[in-house]
Amino acid sequence: MTEPVVEIRDLYFARGERMIFDGIDLNIEPGGVTAIMGPSGTGKTTLLKLIGGQLRPQSGSIRVFGEEVTKLSRQGLFELRKKMGMLFQSGALLTDINVFENVAYPMREHTRLPEELIRDLVLMKLQAVGLRGASGLMPSELSGGMARRTALARAIALDPMMVMYDEPFTGQDPISKGVLVKLIRELNDALGLTSIVVSHDVSETAAIADYVYLLSQGKVIEHGKPESLWVSKSEWARQFLDGSPDGPVSFHYPAADFRDDLMRGGLAK
């Protein structure tokens, strides 16, 4: 059996008083698309930042490509990150250079390739995401979907072994969503990547994922192949997958008793 690309054991992470991860275990197997799903605010993006070493957990182990991220030096982290690509929710494109230069940026930073070769490589990456024609545009001239595809081309610029997608479908129209779904799956298979997709879009994500983790309130609630989740008995998983407004995740933010709250106000006096 092959070793997982990412292996998380007993991870605890808190921001101030608020516990984000309360002892989670998680494996990302090589070659597949693993989805991490859960409602907003469960710390899905935080998990990606922990895997990338941008945040340090309070305790627990995160091994990526066999290296313990929590113990790596800054230099060690930079070396490790050359093997990963990350697609940020906002795209995170550098706004003062155009699409071509954004995709060329990691190549120029980390390689000494001749200019002609960089040009060909960038055009190949842009062709893969369908934006070769947009190479001269500035990030401010791109639609949300195009910005994300450009960011995807940049994420795969150095042919990483793993790509992390942070909410790739959020705020996208159906066509862009369809394009991204297709790209994530096809790039994963064509380039032999390992992909981690963090999302709360159930149908899109389930369509391309090989394995799914459902997170809520700092715990892994359910995990397995997408088809096994649909028959899950967990009330919480049911609520999330069916999109019910009320259930284990309450419709109301925790608050004092409604009646008491009203009685305290000016009208009741």
Partner 1 sequence: MLDMLQKLGKATLGFFERLGRGHLFLLQIFATIPGVLIRPRLILTQLYSVGVLTLPIILVSGLFVGMVMGLQGYNTLVDFGAEDSLGVMVALSLVRELGPVVAALLFAGRAGSALTAEIGLMKATEQLSGMEMMAVDPVQRVVAPRFLASFITLPLLAAIFSSIGIYGGYIVGVELLGVDDGAFWAQMQDKVDLRGDVYNGIIKSVVFGFVAGWIALYEGYDAVPTAAGVSRATTRTVVHTSLVVLGLDFVLTALMFGD
Applying CB under 8 A, the residues found at the interface with partner 1 are 52, 54, 74, 77-79, 81-82, 84-86, 88-90, 92-95, 105-106, 109-110, 151, 154
The stretches of the chain forming alpha helices (DSSP H) are 44-51, 74-81, 99-110, 115-128, 144-155, 174-191, 202-208, 226-230, 235-242, 258-264
Shortest Å, Cβ 111 to partner 1:
12
Closest approach of Cβ 23 to partner 1, in Å?
26
Measured CA to CA in angstroms, residue 89 lies from 33, 44, 159, 249 at distances of 18, 12, 20, 24
- Residue among 21, 28, 77 nearest 47 (CA): 21
Among 232, 164, 225, 230, CA closest to 199: 164
Nearer to partner 1, 15 or 110 (CB): 110
User: Rounded distance, CA 259 to CA 173, Å?
Assistant: 42
- Give the contacts of 43 (CB within 8 A, at least 6 positions apart): 13, 20, 21, 215, 218
Nearer to partner 1, 97 or 191 (CB): 97
Q: Which two tokens stand for residue 255?
A: 């608050």
Contacts of 108 (CB under 8 A, 6+ apart): 118
Q: Which is nearer to partner 1, 14 or 94 (CB)?
A: 94
| Least distance in angstroms from the C-beta of 15 to partner 1 | 14
- Nearer to partner 1 by C-beta: 32 or 76? 76
Of 107 and 241, CB closest to partner 1: 107
Nearest to partner 1 of 103, 214 (CB atom): 103
Residue 137: C-alpha distances to residues 89, 213, 247 (Å): 20, 37, 46
Least Å distance between CB 266 and partner 1? Answer: 26
**What's the closest the beta carbon of residue 175 comes to partner 1, in angstroms?**
25
Measured in degrees and rounded to the nearest 5, phi and psi for residue 234 equal -60, 130
